[in-house]
Amino acid sequence: MANSIDYASIFQQELDKAFVPASVTGWMQRNARLAKYAGGDEIKIPSLVMDGLADYDRNSGYAEGDVTLKYTTVTMGRDRGRGFSLDAMDVDESNFVATAAAVMGEFQRTQVAPEVDAYNLSTLYAKTPTGNRETYTPAASTVYGKLKDHIAAVQEIVGGHVRLRVHLTYAAKAMLEKSTEYVRAVNLLELNDGGLNTTVKALDTTLLIPTQNALMKTAFTFYKGLADTEGTDRKEGGFAPAADAKTIHWLIVPEDAPIAICKQDLVRTFTPLTYQKANAWHMDYRRYFELIVPGNKTAGLYACVSA
């Protein structure tokens, strides 16, 4: 009996495993662990509602309370994909898995993950209340105090028990590390090893996540991937900052606020004998993604943007 290799399952498992580390906003997917996904572009998001405390009665005991777990069906806003072909003369069955895995892995790392990150960050900015957006140009003499003030403003809203994460540009992070507003402690272990570590990874309990400037924009254009003579689209697809986009110097996000859904549809593979358009191996890649922030949690978002 001839060997039968399930290429689709191999690629699906490996690409899913590699996606979160490649995505700077991958941590936001943890909040979607209770979501139900059965394929396609729809997902069910849970909402838990329960009664508060009541008085205990020594005769009748506890007052009965209600707990309601409801699921809301959400249609994912992004449905993106690409097809790739590898010529049969260049790739045979013995090296198809290795070659295709390299191609798809590189595509996911350099094209898919950055687009998902850009979409998530710009969507978070769009959901940030107008009163929580401040225009500011980072400077060494003020950046530390400004960021601390913004963090404190968010903590007043969400409380000190909710951990915060801050996505900030590398330029803003470098400015923070050069700040003249606080005394910096030297890591003696790093110094003894011949290096000096001055990296600021967190402010108190707030984790700082350095993020590329290209992803920290208030709005993006996501191209359809069609040939366009009018200049509003481009065949190579992808994304780019919108013409009127501002730079987000930092975006403060409570850990429990964003629900990032990112689902890969079945990776389809076709052998040269089954693919009709060419004598080639062919692979289809399709991914759905969406970012949701419950209405009662948007008040905890805070953004600092360029003029």
CA gap 263, 225 in Å, rounded: 21
Mean pLDDT on 248-257: 96
CA gap 105, 84 in Å, rounded: 12
Q: Is 261 exposed, middle or buried (0-12, 13-18, 19+ CB in 10 A)?
A: buried
The pLDDT, as a whole number, for residue 267 is 74
Q: Is the pLDDT of residue 242 over 90?
A: yes
Domain boundaries, the chain: 7-47+64-305
pLDDT digits (tens, 9 = 90+) for 72-119: 888 888 888 888 888 887 777 667 766 777 777 788 888 889 999 999
The pLDDT, as a whole number, for residue 239 is 93
Q: Is the pLDDT of residue 136 over 90?
A: yes
Q: Which CATH architecture has domain 7-47+64-305?
A: Alpha-Beta Complex (3.90)
Give yes or no for a contact between 40 and 132, defined as CB atoms under 8 angstroms apart. no
* In the chain, % of residues over pLDDT 90: 35
The pLDDT, as a whole number, for residue 119 is 96
pLDDT higher for 189 or 43? 43
* In the chain, % of residues over pLDDT 70: 84
Q: Which two tokens stand for residue 5?
A: 């290799």
The pLDDT, as a whole number, for residue 4 is 44
